[in-house]
Chains A and B, each alone.
Chain A
Amino acid sequence: MLELLSLTAGYDRRAPVVRDVTLTLAPGEAVGLLGPSGCGKSTLARVAALLHRPDSGRVVIDGEPARGYRHRAPRAQRTAFGVVFQQPRQSADPRLRLADLIAEPLRATGRPEGAADKAAETADTVGLGSDLLGRRPHEVSDGQLQRACLARALILRPRYLVCDEMTAMLDASTTAALVGVVEEYRRETGAALLAVGHDRVLLDRWCDRTVEWSELGSRHDGLATAKPPAEQSPSVR
């Protein structure tokens, strides 16, 4: 379970973009977070993945409070998360071949043995042909590069996936394909998902429930916009 408790965060302490937001992901749950661009939902996603330190509030991962953020996050906690961003070109080192891009987390966590094989295997699961692995980012399309970024996010087998506008730049078919890859991974591993986006139709179709940004925070519990029953979990407080 991932608990985001009373989080306040931003880039200027006097003007936080995330104010007192509480959101919980039940084990294996897929939660869509819907909001307009610039509302702060991406910042929340970064805090949730331990990539940004909140001004106040806590992130609790499977019962254990986050013990640091960014490079201060202990490895075991950091690697619990796989993250995919909107713009593959901004999150991919242009000098790396796709094979190395995908294997980056293995090397960064000191597990270089078998990295190439693992990268090829993960590339295959995201629908990236082996012929593309020798290319650099500028030699592939946005869709192909985003597949590589998703493979990079999955390679350490994270328990939580955070997808921040993962498909905003992509065509309908690539969108459906990448969502399919994420869902296949979740079926296999039971990983939970926080999918941040601005497309309600997509998030409603993808996730167990969709929470609207404007309804999060201290005054609301976020349940108001959640998808109707089935297996509604009382996981937003």
Chain B
Amino acid sequence: MTVLSVRGLTVRFRMRESAPVRAVTDVSFDLAAGECLALVGESGCGKSVLASALLGLLPGNAETAGSALLAGAGDDPATDLIAADEAILARTVRGRRVGLVPQSPAAHLTPVRTVRAHLTETVRRLTGTRGRDALRTATEAAAARVSFPAGHLDRHPHELSGGLAQRAATALALVGDAPLLLADEPTTGLDRDLVDRTVDELRRHTGATRALLMITHDLAAAARIADRVAVMYAGRLVEIAEADAFFGTPGPRHPYARGLLDALPERAFRPVPGRPPELAALPAGCAFAARCAHADTACATQPPLTGGLACHHPHTAPADLVHPPQAAEAPGA
């Protein structure tokens, strides 16, 4: 069952004195129940703006087009997250139908309130639970669900380790039993084993009935739990692929996606040459052309996303003679 269906989503920011910033352009994808889709790309590629758009949290100078249909369930009708007005989003969508696992739990939690106070308030608001004892039980159950230790419930956010703060934030995101979980860089700044534990938990909570959209720059985290990977470059999706094929064999097909994987320290540790274009000054054709070894005149026209790929000259399996994985020396090697 499709939980989220995004079609032609476009976000532009009007600027007072300069050309508009084209943060997201014509993005389309589907997300099914039980599925984890990792949206990867470098900072500034538009992936966080996409998340904000899905939550209805874009700033006032944003102009949007396209749709993001969140499937109906029970009494809830299907909702277009892009067209819905703020009152609907605030009252019935955020927390209840879209759970957000934030980038920085410390910033997301109010410093002067305990974890218990946060959870109780959220339980009351989202589940309608009333009465002291019932609330207490529900709060403790919400904490137990993510293995947040009951003995730490009365602590303030700053008294928690990074891992426990992340769990507290995850517990909050799960309270409403939302069918769509949106995790925006949930592992930034965490140690590797904490990254693993955090994403494993997200995966576990996705189960068979929810869908998880994880926005991340951490390819290892994506490789660990994603079913599919969507690569974003300069505001567009350039490749969507099964995670096994993407991270394993035959590997990515888009030159940028291949470059991104080659940059990993366990691979060639070689950066993608050049730098991304300004979102306020995108070229007419493929935005990657200036950095692409395969660019030719055809690339002066925008390649459409077909069959999960937007490239005029994609890599074809099996052997990659252009980028042998171990060819480059690491810096300093």
Contacts and interface: CB of A to CB of B under 8 A. Distances in A.
In the complex, the 9 A-B pairs of residues with the closest C-beta atoms, listed nearest first = A141-B44, A177-B271, A183-B331, A171-B217, A176-B271, A172-B263, A171-B42, A205-B265, A183-B332
A172 B44 contact: no
B162 interface: yes
B60 to A, nearest CB: 16
Interface in B148-196: 161-162, 188-192
Given A172-B219, A173-B260, A183-B332, A37 B43 contact: no
A142 B161 CA distance: 24
A36 B271 contact: no
Interface string B268-290: 01111001001000000000000
Given A129-B275, A201-B265, A202-B265, A173 B191 contact: no
Contacts of B41: 171
Nearest to A206: B332
A86 interface: yes
B162 A37 contact: yes
Given A169-B189, A170-B43, A205-B265, A127 B275 contact: yes
A191 to B, nearest CB: 12
A206 B330 contact: yes
A114 interface: no
A207 B332 contact: yes
Contacts of B266: 201, 205
B278 to A, nearest CB: 8
A interface residue count range (under 10 / 10 to 19 / 20 to 34 / 35 or more) = 35 or more
B260 A172 contact: yes
A142 B42 CA distance: 10
Contacts of A140: 44
A143 B43 contact: yes
B189 A174 contact: no
A48 B278 CA distance: 38
B44 A173 contact: no
B189 A37 contact: yes
A168 B189 contact: yes
Nearest to B332: A183
Interface in B10-49: 41-44
Nearest to A140: B44
B269 A141 contact: no
A173 B272 contact: yes
A202 B265 CA distance: 5
A179 B43 contact: no
B308 interface: no
B56 interface: no
Contacts of B44: 140-144
A184 B192 contact: no
A172 B264 contact: yes
B66 interface: no
A198 interface: yes
B120 to A, nearest CB: 28
Given A36-B191, A86-B189, A206-B330, A179 B269 contact: yes
Contacts of B264: 172, 176
Interface string A196-233: 00111110111110000000000000000000000000
